[in-house]
A and B are shown apart, each in its own frame.
Chain A
Amino acid sequence: MGETALSALRRLRGSGDNSATATADTWRSDRIEAFALLDDARLLQSYRLATLILRDRYEAEDATQEAVEKAWQAWRTLRDRDRFDAWFDRILVNACRNRLRHRRVIRIVPLDDAGSLESHDSHGSTVARLSLEPAFSGLTRDQRVVVVLRFWRDLSIEEISERLAIPAGTVKSRLHYALRALQAALESTRETNR
């Protein structure tokens, strides 16, 4: 975490009204402590997750910022502080899903550099990149989310179910159809390149 962020959090922690009740102090302190978990590494992970779902770094930046602020405002909806990660993931994923929902319309406004993602891939095959990029873009927003949570975040079906507040069966179904589409795209590209 950067020094500035730490300072801001410490300042807040130290600014509690001494006459406030233990309840008020606890609420504030809990929130500040919990949000201290959002260190640079965690924020980077969140930004990466949003980027993979949205395929657009600027939108991912916006979505992550939106999630941070919503989470701060929505602190009281967190029922169990130990589940902060899952709770924050859900807010972030919902922010991404909302952006994907409106993307069809947004796309009619060309963004010069928004769609381009630099690849740091050194061993991913050209075949995979050629086939997976368009195939992934063709998935529904819900399919994208489960694919990224499953194969990049390495979450279990149950963990994804919890984060998205949907039944495990729905997660499996979305994964099944997404995988089928991605596999077909991979095979098609391989056939073409033979």
Chain B
Amino acid sequence: MTDKHADTERAIRDWLSAEAPVTAPASIRKSLENAASRPPASHGRLGWLSAGRVRPAFRFAAVMALIAVVAAGAYIHQLDRTSPAASQSPSARPTALESVASPSSSAASSLPSGWRLKSGAFPRMVAPAYSGFGQTVFQLPGAGGLMAFVPSTDGVARGGTSGIVLTAFGTAGPTSPASWTTHAFSSVDGLNWKETAALPSDMATVRDVTYSEGTIVAVGWTGVTPNETAVAWTWADLGPWRATKLPAQDKALSGAYDIAGGPGGFLAFGSDGSSSRFWISPDGIKWNVFATPDLPGELLIDRIYGNGYGWEIVGSLQDRSATWQSNRDGSVWTQTWTGPAMGSLGTDLEGYALGRILQAPDLNYVSFGGAYMAPGGNAALPSDTLIWTSTDALKWTESARVPSPGWIQGFASTAHGYVAAGQKVVGLDGMQAYGPLGVWTSGDTTSWTSLPGIESMQKVQVLSVVGSPYQIVVAFTDEQGNLQLLVSGT
């Protein structure tokens, strides 16, 4: 090293050392205490809207709200932030939040406090052939944040040398196009969305997304039935998405449905021809087919979860739900639980399934499962909801069975309660329920209250219900493919 370089480095070290504060605010210690001592589940209504302390994510959302207000041309000359204490006061920020949440439709004006309608932020969606609309908004595990993947013909060259001919929208609604671009968006608060580079693959369908160690990995497939190819897309450091075909024996039909990060990297699950298939990757880029000889051949996999010990599978055997846990590298799998066999709890022809695993406010686990009807059974529609509870997410106990408040598309949890979304059942068209958008909240998993102010949202399809400790996002689309979000907790 030259003397000049040494002098520069010494000057930088001295300067940094002198600039570092000598004490830390007590609020930082307090934030750890608050995180560590989050109270058990309340039996009242959802309480995070009136929480006394505004968490950092909430504060960041307020900053994002300010950005939106400024971008909209509002004049904000000064933010009243004379001290950290003042900035933590919930009353210090509602003006900005209210501004960003300006109702974009008449329906939103009657939404209860704390709920916002976000519309117009995304290109109009198309429904990929044979797939229909799928989950669109995903909550990233761990570091948090949201990703949205929106298949759209916006941005796709129409005609041109490729000879692509698009069938876009007719007056009756979206049809299946011959090609589309999948636009990707990220958000920290569900209200402010930033478009990233689009997925590089033509006709990309995303089925699951995860986050680990600074890398976001999405899985799905490209193409349409009967020519689909399983693909993983990775994104890190704000660069472009990188697409990797997952190795498959069947060159014509493969797809990935689920992915989870664990101690051994990323594990994805999907199909390869008529067989199920696991793939494993250390970094989301290099993928190998992964054999799981410990798992029974009859197993139908619903979800994969990553945890501190490896991966967990929630699936079902012929007549019951079950869970398996792997070691760190996925080489050994052990069955950890089986649920009641079909017919053992209710009518003979009912089955009982686990749903998505949610973290309860008390840091235990909850799953809203279904009591589904086997062929010939007489279970009512919409089916009952089984509430399963667990302390470890591996072994489950049925704690209650309650009538579903509607035709539920999904459940999510926050630090203070639960949200379900789907359709209010007005009637049945054959086996298909129809009715307006329905959103329900609960503090205890069993008593549900319908969210008012959304009755006018008819003919919508709920695509995603996701939650974090601080927010809920319900994504739905109308018949024309216009994606809208109901956001709570920001």
Contact = CB atoms under 8 A, between A and B. Distances in A.
Given A69-B35, A179-B8, A77 B213 contact: yes
Mostly, the A contact residues are helix
B134 interface: no
A105 B192 CA distance: 14
Interface in B87-141: 87, 141
B78 interface: yes
Nearest to B66: A109
Given A106-B63, A109-B78, A152 B17 contact: yes
Given A111-B79, A122-B18, A73 B144 contact: yes
A186 B8 contact: yes
B394 A52 contact: no
Contacts of A35: 32, 36
Contact of B36 (A2, A40, A72): A72
B67 A105 contact: yes
A48 B18 CA distance: 11
Interface string B37-66: 100000000000000000111011001101
Interface residues of B, number: 76
Contacts of A120: 18, 22
B308 to A, nearest CB: 5
A117 B19 CA distance: 7
B324 to A, nearest CB: 13
A68 B213 CA distance: 16
Contacts of B188: 98
A114 B34 CA distance: 25
Interface in A9-44: 9, 11-12, 17, 19-21, 23-24, 27-28, 30, 32, 35, 38, 40, 43-44
A38 B28 CA distance: 11
B237 interface: yes
A54 to B, nearest CB: 11
B144 A58 contact: no
Contact of B141 (A74, A129, A164): A74
A132 B12 contact: yes
Contact of A182 (B8, B20, B141): B8
Contacts of A79: 262-263, 308
A119 B19 contact: yes
A2 B215 CA distance: 35
A112 B18 CA distance: 22
Task: Tell which of A17, A38, A122, A152 has the most Cβ of chain B within 10 Å.
Answer: A152
A169 B323 CA distance: 43
Nearest to B392: A24
Task: Tell which of A9, A151, A152 has the most Cβ of chain B within 10 Å.
Answer: A151
A11 B38 CA distance: 11
A122 B22 CA distance: 14
Given A27-B308, A30-B308, A40-B29, A151 B79 contact: no
Contacts of B392: 20-21, 23-24, 27
B143 A74 contact: yes
B56 A65 contact: yes
A163 B5 CA distance: 25
Interface residues of A, number: 86
Nearest to B261: A77
A124 B15 contact: yes
Nearest to B328: A79
B365 to A, nearest CB: 9
A143 interface: no
Interface string A115-155: 00111111111001100110000000000000110011000
Given A47-B24, A52-B20, A91-B143, A9 B36 contact: yes
Nearest to A125: B11
B213 A152 contact: no
B57 A69 contact: yes
B332 to A, nearest CB: 15
A165 B213 contact: yes
A148 B5 contact: no
A1 B33 CA distance: 11
Interface string A61-73: 1111110111011
B385 interface: no
A152 to B, nearest CB: 4
Contacts of B71: 105
Contacts of A194: none
Contact of B143 (A2, A94, A118): A94
Given A69-B31, A94-B214, A8 B36 contact: yes
Contacts of A173: none
B375 interface: no
A152 B32 contact: no
B456 interface: no
A48 B20 contact: yes
A167 B321 CA distance: 43
A179 B5 CA distance: 8
Contacts of A48: 20-21, 24
A52 B16 contact: yes
Task: Tell which of A21, A43, A65, A72 has the most Cβ of chain B within 10 Å.
Answer: A65
Contacts of B78: 109-110, 112
Given A8-B36, A51-B21, A120-B22, A64 B28 contact: yes
Contacts of B468: 73
A-B pairs, top 5 by smallest CB distance, nearest first, are A121-B18, A24-B392, A74-B142, A66-B56, A72-B35
Given A23-B309, A69-B57, A165-B213, 9 more contacts: A5-B32, A20-B392, A28-B363, A48-B20, A51-B20, A106-B67, A109-B66, A147-B16, A152-B13
Interface of A: 1-2, 4-5, 8-9, 11-12, 17, 19-21, 23-24, 27-28, 30, 32, 35, 38, 40, 43-44, 46-48, 51-52, 57-58, 61-66, 68-70, 72-80, 90-91, 94, 98, 102, 105-106, 108-114, 117-125, 128-129, 132-133, 147-148, 151-152, 164-166, 179, 182-183, 186
